[in-house]
Amino acid sequence: MGKKRIIQKTEKELLEEKEKIESSVRKGGGGAPSGRIKEGKVYISSSYNNTIVSLTDLQGNVLAWASAGAIGFKGTKKATPFAASKVVEAISQALYKLNIDKIAVFVKGIGSGRESAIRSLAAKGFDITSVTDITPVPHNGCRPKKARRV
């Protein structure tokens, strides 16, 4: 097996990303008189193929997002718990930049990265107010196939 390669952003790309985040914060207002956001929502979508984490303000405006594929994982490695923890590291950097300390976590999906994403988010030291499972569950589902007659 080859070495794991994770895409490293250059300083120019990091500065552009920081400016974009700060401009979206200034534009949105965030409800606080000073324009600073203190609370946010983190949505973790974990499927069999990928893990996507989105950071929003309380109104639902997306401030930052990251996925295992965007970080640099390919193929089946995107669905691993290790990739999910790396995605949360990327989102936690955005949380630190925006000075958000209180977060509510919403988890959707049944992938292998969902538990490790929550654990690594808690390990970063944020004040997690709630963890909610919003996985869609069918009430009765589709009609089953008719019985095969031989």
Tens digit of each residue's pLDDT (9 = 90 or more) over 63-93: 999 999 999 999 999 999 999 999 999 999 9
pTM > 0.95: yes or no: no
Domain of residue 87, residue span: 72-132
Asked whether residue 113 is assigned to any structural domain, the reply reads yes
Question: Rounded distance, CA 47 to CA 87, Å?
Answer: 14
Residue 118: CATH number of its domain: 3.30.420.80
Q: State the amino acid at position 149 in one-letter form.
A: R
Total of domains in the chain: 1
Asked whether residue 67 is assigned to any structural domain, the reply reads no
Place of tokens 């919403």: 106
How many other β-carbons are positioned within 10 Å of the β-carbon of residue 25? 20
Asked whether residue 24 is assigned to any structural domain, the reply reads no
Asked whether residue 54 is assigned to any structural domain, the reply reads no
